Amino acid sequence: MAASVVTRFAPSPTGHLHVGNLRTALHNWMWARRHGGRFLLRIDDTDAERSREDYVDAIRADLAWLGIEPDGEERQSARFDRYAERFDDLVRSGRVYPAYETPEELDLRRKILLGRGLPPVYDRAALRLSDAERAALEAQGRRPHWRFRLDAAAPIAWEDRIRGHAQFDPALLSDPVIRRGDGSWLYLLPSVIDDIDMGITDVVRGEDHVSNTAVQMQMFEALGAAPPAFAHEALLTGSEGKLSKRLGSLGIAHFRDAGIEPQAIVALLARIGTSDPVEPLVDPEPLIAAFDFARFGRAPARFDEEELAAVNARIVHQLSHQAVADRLPSGMGEAAWHAVRPNLTRVADAADWWAVIEGSIATAGQDEADRPLLEQAAGIAAGLDWSDQPWAALTGALKATTGRKGKALFLPLRLALTGRDHGPDMAALLRLIGRERSVERLRAAAAGPGQRF
């Protein structure tokens, strides 16, 4: 039995994926997974001059890093014969026709129409040419581009999974160019042919494609196929509340360099634009199970890197040592990871705390009044049973002998032992620092600043 849902992600390999592309890929993948269907990757490499194989490899690598594994892959560059075959069918049926206007002529016509307050719709002048006129133009060296003839008899309408009822008047649309004079393909027709042949049932893409969908609805019909269901998502905006060009430059390399975990990107992009809260879930399955286009709004979806960083920190706090071991400093084991993890915003920051645990620290400037406390603490620490709970034993003994408690007790000790006034739980940290290093640091702090231990 065929899968009930088949989705696709169709990037052009003319650059790296950006955050908007990643969101589209993720939502197509999640919709297919929720319904037990298939998610396909289609490389739209019809532009031979701009398409590059290293970008194809980067697209695959970026999806894999996010945990998105396609169930199949197609290349448009391998399907030119198929496009030509269906193109010829449409020419024979009269739905595709040659047009000979130059770009300059078309631009002049658009300006005249706009100047008259009319929509700049192509006037189908090419359909009024006689065979002799076409032959004369070709004798002059003109090569036709090809247009798909829209049927203006009835409105184009469909029920969009996000936008609801969508309707276009074909009389207000120009017959779209589908093939250039040099024989190369534009996006519209090959995409429809691919969706038919690949059995695509659902297409998730940005709302900037709505007008493309309108003309493609008639292409599906002209090719004798039912169109897939469409979901047109509101575009992403930056944190400033406007469409941001910067979003077009934010890709996987940017996020990886910033220490962002793939789970954080998935968690945020799965929910922004919906009525559901963003949850820092390491496992995407709950996100997939709850994914529903009915929960998406039509307002622009706000992508905030500060929110992503906050989600990332909460993801990091859940990661196991096994999941991050290859990114930790040599020798940093599970106990140390669990001790410092609650204070991290990025996995890479664990190295700073490992240096505190294993390396040398500069003695912090201690209040003169705290030095007797630290000297006494050094003596107590030297005699503690370090296999038990040395922090509780140390602070308990000092509280009993000095009367200090709370911040007055804990802060001087933390400064002396770590060189910092905040950080991970000292009960876990002290055991990792160890007896010898702890005693040395306490004595150095008691002696005064300017030393490293």
Is 399 marked within a binding site? no
How many Å apart are CA 127 and CA 97, to the nearest integer? Answer: 7
User: In sequence order, what are the beta bridge partners of 236?
Assistant: 301
Contact at 8 Å (CB) between 228 and 169? no
Classify 393 as helix, strand or coil.
Answer: helix
User: In sequence order, what are the beta bridge partners of 38?
Assistant: 6
Residue with tokens 């005064």: 448
Contact at 8 Å (CB) between 242 and 300? no
Is the sign of the CA dihedral 393, 398, 403, 409 positive or negative? negative
Residues 6+ apart with CB under 8 A from 425: 339, 342
258, with CB counted inside 10 A (0-12, 13-18, 19+), is middle
User: In sequence order, what are the beta bridge partners of 97?
Assistant: 147
How many Å apart are CA 127 and CA 147, to the nearest integer? Answer: 10
Among residues 185, 182, 8, 181, the alpha carbon closest in space to that of 81 is found at 185
Residue with tokens 């929110």: 307
CA within 13 Å, CB half, 388: 8
Give the phi and the psi of residue 380 in degrees, each rounded to 5.
-65, -45
Angle between helices 390-402 and 371-382 (to 10 degrees): 130
Give the phi and the psi of residue 123 in degrees, each rounded to 5.
-90, 5
Specify binding-site residues. 245
Specify binding-site residues for ATP: 245
